[in-house]
């Protein structure tokens, strides 16, 4: 079984920092963002060496040892496109899941097919329907398509309110992330079935299963096999620890894949990511072992929080929402002064912080810092700047507005 290891961030030069700021600004303007960009908008700085960075739902294990070896080997042939490797990966996944290869398309991560789905199935006359709180990337793309954005509050159990979502009469795309980002909670297989049966005619369901491997939830590939109006997203970024390598899929019937292809064309995949993904899929123990590691570390954090009376939303994945009983943005800033960087704050849950599960050692440091912050012990000299509506980087003005209109 793999052991957790500490992961530290290296310091970047000021020039690199400014390039990053310009890149983030361009990404937001284009409407194409992912978890990395959304996290970076709120921490526009280089992390101090040795900081605990648990803000972007990354897997501290990184790629498996075998996947890292595959990356090194693939790099030797990095001068060639090697498109057949992507075809092999698609066929490998199709065989494992009992799907036809033409129902699967590989991308550098799952962010691109998420955005392409929004562009393909929403418009000024077809709304984008999502959860509140929920993963925000699709809302940026909906701004580009000109779609009305409808944010539907989660249920009392923090699941998607599929009944309310399906009652939006002009819906073009219903987006469900399960387990949900940021709450880490599941929307049941039966609720997904309800959404498919009761959605407006012509609407498509986009089901994001980025974190499904961490949970005990039932995947939804059976609806794809039944040729339902659904696009399922999968990624190697999370449990497989390949966020920086970029590999994922869209899974849907061929006519829906063609609509996404109108925005993407056919481009070569990074051979390093493809080879690492193939090796990872070949290891039947990788997912269950990593799931158990996450369960163990997460349970330890929850036990610690319980013992001190702190409240949180029980999570099925590698992050959770922590109740601070005060403006969470201030707690987030105070934690940063201890070199502990946690996730962003959602407007509909202003007293909650999203915390990624890191290594055991990282979570111990988080616990120590959180206890000190809640007891008023914050080193003022190191206090960081919290998020504001606009971020200025030597003339580069980055929008940091998270209030999307309904």
Our CA dihedral for 329, 242, 285, 366, rounded to 10 degrees, sits at -20
H helix count then E strand count, the chain? 14, 14
> Residue 6 phi/psi, 5° resolution?
-75, 140
**What distance in Å separates the CA atoms of residue 76 and residue 33, rounded to the nearest whole number?**
31
CA dist., res. 342 & res. 317, Å (int): 16
Which has the closest alpha carbon to 70: 270, 291, 294? Answer: 270
Report the alpha-carbon distance of residue 239 to residue 318 in Å, rounded.
9
Q: Distance between terminal CA atoms of the chain? A: 46
Is the Cβ–Cβ distance between 275 and 85 less than 8 Å? yes
Q: Do 209 and 185 contact (CB within 8 A), yes or no?
A: no
Given CA atoms 301, 41, 180, 8 in this order, what sign does their dihedral have? negative
Per-residue pLDDT of the chain (406 residues; tens, 9 = 90+): 333 333 333 333 334 333 434 444 444 445 677 887 777 666 656 789 999 999 999 999 999 999 999 999 999 989 999 999 999 999 999 999 999 999 999 999 999 999 999 999 999 999 999 999 999 999 999 999 999 999 999 999 999 999 999 999 999 999 999 999 999 999 999 999 999 999 999 999 999 999 999 999 999 999 999 999 999 999 999 999 999 999 999 999 999 999 999 988 677 899 999 999 999 999 999 999 999 999 999 999 999 999 999 999 999 999 999 999 999 999 999 999 999 999 999 999 999 999 999 999 999 999 999 999 999 876 653 434 444 443 333 333 334 433 333 3
Helices marked H in 129-213: 137-145, 162-166, 189-198
What pLDDT does residue 21 have? 45
Token pair recorded at residue 73: 């080997």
The C-alpha R_g of the chain, in whole angstroms, comes to 21
**CA of 23: how far to CAs of 43, 56, 347, in Å?**
14, 18, 25
DSSP strand pairing (230-235 vs 52-54) = unpaired
Give residues with Cβ within 8 angstroms of 210, minimum separation 6: 110, 177, 181, 233, 234, 235, 237, 238
Q: Is residue 214 a contact partner of residue 240, using CB atoms and an 8 Å limit?
A: no
Q: Two tokens at 394?
A: 């030597």
- Helix, coil or strand: residue 353: strand
**H, E, C per residue of 44-77:** CCCCCCCCEEECCCCCCCCCCHHHHHHHHHHHCC
Provide the pLDDT for residue 265: 67
Report the pLDDT value the prediction gives residue 41, as an integer from 0 to 100.
Answer: 62
Alpha helices in 265-359 (DSSP H): 271-281, 286-307, 328-336
CA 173 distance to own-chain centroid: 19
Q: Taking the CA atoms of 169, 173, 179 and 183 in sequence, report the sign of the dihedral they define.
A: negative
Helix segments in 43-188, DSSP class H? 65-75, 83-97, 111-121, 137-145, 162-166
Q: Which residues contact 14 (CB under 8 A, 6 or more apart)?
A: none
Taking residue 188's Cβ as centre, other Cβ atoms within 10 Å add up to 15
C-alpha distance from residue 205 to each of 53, 151, 185, 387 (Å):
33, 15, 18, 33
Query: Domains in the chain, please, with CATH?
Result: 14-63+286-399 (3.90.1150.10), 65-281 (3.40.640.10)
pLDDT (0 to 100) of residue 379: 63
């Amino acid at each position: 079984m793999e052991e957790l290891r500490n992961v530290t961030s290296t310091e970047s030069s000021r020039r690199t920092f400014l390039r990053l700021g310009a890149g983030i600004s361009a990404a937001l303007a284009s409407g194409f963002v992912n978890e990395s960009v959304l996290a970076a908008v709120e921490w526009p700085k280089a992390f101090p060496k040795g900081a605990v960075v648990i803000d972007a739902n990354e897997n501290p294990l990184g790629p498996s040892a075998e996947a890292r070896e595959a990356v090194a080997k693939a790099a030797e042939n990095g001068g060639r496109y090697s498109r057949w490797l992507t075809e092999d990966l698609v066929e490998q996944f199709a065989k494992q899941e009992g799907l036809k290869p033409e129902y699967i398309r590989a991308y550098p991560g799952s962010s691109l097919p998420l955005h392409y789905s929004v562009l393909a199935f929403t418009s000024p006359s077809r709304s984008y329907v999502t959860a509140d709180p929920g993963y925000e990337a699709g809302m940026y793309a909906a701004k580009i398509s000109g779609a009305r954005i409808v944010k539907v509050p989660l249920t009392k159990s923090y699941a998607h309110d599929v009944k309310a979502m399906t009652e939006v009469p002009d819906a073009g795309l219903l987006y469900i992330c399960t387990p949900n980002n940021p709450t880490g909670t599941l929307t049941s297989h039966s609720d997904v079935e309800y959404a498919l049966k009761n959605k407006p005619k012509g609407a498509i369901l986009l089901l994001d299963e980025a974190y499904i491997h961490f949970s005990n939830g039932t995947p939804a590939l059976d609806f794809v096999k039944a040729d339902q109006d659904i696009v399922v997203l999968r990624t190697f970024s999370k449990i497989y620890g390949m966020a920086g390598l970029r590999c994922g899929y869209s899974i849907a019937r061929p006519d829906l894949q063609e609509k996404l292809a109108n925005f993407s064309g056919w481009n070569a995949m990074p051979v390093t990511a493809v080879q690492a993904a193939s090796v990872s899929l070949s290891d039947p123990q990788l997912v269950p072992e990593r799931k158990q590691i996450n369960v163990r570390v997460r349970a330890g954090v929850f036990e610690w929080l319980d013992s001190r009376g702190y409240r949180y939303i029980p999570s099925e994945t590698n992050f959770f929402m922590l109740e601070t009983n005060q403006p969470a943005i201030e707690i987030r800033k105070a934690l940063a002064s201890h070199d502990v960087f946690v996730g962003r704050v959602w407007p509909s849950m202003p007293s909650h912080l999203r915390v990624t599960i890191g290594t055991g050692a990282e979570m111990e440091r988080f616990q120590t810092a959180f206890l000190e912050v809640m007891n008023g012990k914050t080193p003022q000299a190191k206090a960081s700047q919290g998020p504001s509506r606009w971020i200025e980087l030597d003339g580069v003005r980055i929008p940091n507005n998270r209030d999307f209109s309904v």
